[in-house]
């Protein structure tokens, strides 16, 4: 199969998971297939029509390849036709025609026998390798999950492909669209293309929306995706990123279940701070994906992503110590809930952008990151009000106060004015 050349971001050389586990699939099938079989994460650029109604970038390989290859080899051995197949000798597999016809031309019978003999020798090895290949798919997904949770757009895109195709995981078009959207918001062209197609087809837990779909296709074209350019034509490089993309009510941060030890710690500690454990787990899911060693590009650290100033403010000396990080994050979340009179959305916005920004805009700041952040957590934790302890801090008065009361507030010099902690 001849691959159509695709334009990708210039920093991309190979699939993201390779940096974790290497090109483990390159020799799985032996040298006889090395010239034609791509690695697990290699994708063809040719559009194809999927059963669920939208045209997508489909893989040249999948987790079922072993059974497909085995079946093809059986047909070759039996002399049956294999559509579009080139046999182990490099010649098209024979059709089921009379034996006398197959003898036309010198070497015809010899080639067929040689192909059958090669297949008979290699088939047991291929079948034995099937479990190993399944394990590789699982390792690939695990590695991509780790990278995606750290914010890698490329990993988010490739992980979306796995959920889209049920490659090593159970098919989940909603999660696939969510991951495509997360990568597309980081200007990953191929992800913007897929997001546009899914919205136009109404796939992934969203209704058909041709206008929104075209908007994402225009964004993909502006980012240099050649398929999108063919669909919508040449567009300006300054195309605005659409405001909407993700499917509603999707459990955003949950790529994998929280580790049992993290869940146990949260369930034990949260009540001591007057917090609902489910709210704390939702914050952790979106903040760090339950990883204790995550560091953001703004130096937010650990499970609840505390910046050094916030860690110091709430007595955290080691933000990579899970218990310390949880205590600091819970103290801050408790403080925010009291400050904003139990308004969950305001408290979450303050956790992301700083309470000063919420005061400045008298509500959720208009930052795209903060709005997305609140939406993500609210899709996991739907409660709009959370009980709070008035003894923790005086109310900011945003819920019902007048403008002059807000202006009189005195904020700590350590209060963050904007941006990620």
The residues, ordered by sequence, that sit 6+ positions from 125 with a Cβ below 8 Å of its Cβ are 30
Tokens of 348: 């979450």
Q: Of 145, 229, 287, 355, which residue is the catalytic one?
A: 287
Residues near 7 by Cβ (< 8 Å), separated by ≥ 6? 189, 224, 225, 226
The neighbour count for residue 355, using CB atoms within 10 Å, is 26
Helix (H) / strand (E) element for 58: namely strand 55-59
The two three-digit tokens of residue 98, written as one number: 């009379």
Cα radius of gyration (the chain): 27
Is 287 one of the catalytic residues? yes
In whole angstroms, how far apart are CA 3 and each of 97, 257, 306, 379, 406? 32, 37, 45, 39, 61
Would you call 312 helix, strand, or coil by DSSP?
Answer: helix
Residues belonging to the chain:
421
Please tell me the chain's helix, strand, coil percentages from 3-state DSSP, rounded to the nearest 5.
50, 5, 45
Enter the tokens of residue 204: 């992934």
Residues 6+ apart with CB under 8 A from 124: none
Catalytic residue numbers, as ranges: 287
């Amino acid at each position: 199969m001849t691959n159509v050349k695709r334009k990708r971001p210039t920093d991309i050389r190979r699939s993201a998971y390779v940096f974790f586990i290497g090109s483990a699939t390159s020799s799985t099938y032996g040298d006889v297939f090395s010239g034609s079989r791509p690695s697990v994460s290699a994708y063809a650029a040719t559009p194809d029509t999927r059963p669920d109604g939208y045209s997508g970038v489909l893989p040249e390989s999948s987790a079922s390849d072993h059974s497909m290859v085995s079946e093809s080899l059986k047909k070759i051995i039996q002399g049956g036709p294999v559509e579009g197949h080139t046999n182990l000798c490099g010649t098209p597999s024979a059709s089921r025609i009379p034996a006398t016809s197959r003898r036309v031309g010198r070497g015809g019978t010899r080639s067929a026998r040689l192909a059958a003999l090669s297949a008979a020798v290699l088939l047991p090895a291929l079948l034995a390798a099937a479990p190993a290949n399944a394990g590789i798919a699982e390792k690939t997904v695990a590695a991509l999950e780790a990278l995606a949770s750290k914010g890698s757009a490329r990993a988010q895109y490739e992980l979306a492909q796995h959920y889209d195709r049920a490659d090593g995981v159970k098919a989940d078009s909603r999660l696939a669209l969510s991951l495509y959207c997360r990568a597309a918001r980081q200007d990953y062209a191929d992800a913007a293309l897929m997001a546009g197609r899914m919205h136009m087809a109404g796939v992934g837990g969203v209704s058909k929306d041709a206008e929104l779909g075209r908007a994402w296709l225009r964004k993909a074209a502006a980012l240099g995706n050649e398929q999108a350019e063919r669909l919508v034509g040449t567009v300006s490089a300054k195309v605005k990123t659409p405001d909407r993309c993700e499917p509603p009510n999707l459990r955003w941060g949950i790529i994998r279940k929280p580790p049992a030890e993290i869940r146990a710690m949260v369930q034990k500690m949260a009540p001591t701070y007057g917090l609902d454990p489910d709210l704390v787990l939702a914050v952790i899911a979106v903040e760090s994906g339950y990883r204790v060693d995550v560091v953001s590009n703004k130096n937010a650290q650990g499970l609840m992503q505390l910046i050094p100033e916030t860690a110091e403010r709430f007595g955290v000396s080691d933000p990579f110590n899970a218990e310390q990080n949880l205590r600091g994050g819970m103290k801050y979340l408790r403080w925010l809930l009291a400050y904003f009179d139990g308004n969950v959305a305001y408290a979450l916005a303050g956790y992301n952008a700083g309470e000063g920004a919420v005061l400045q805009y008298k509500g959720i700041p208009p930052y795209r990151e903060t709005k997305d952040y609140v939406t993500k957590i609210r899709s996991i934790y739907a409660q709009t009000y959370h009980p709070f302890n008035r003894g923790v801090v005086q109310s900011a008065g945003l819920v019902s106060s007048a403008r002059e009361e807000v202006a009189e507030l005195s904020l700590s010099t350590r209060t963050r004015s904007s941006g990620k902690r």
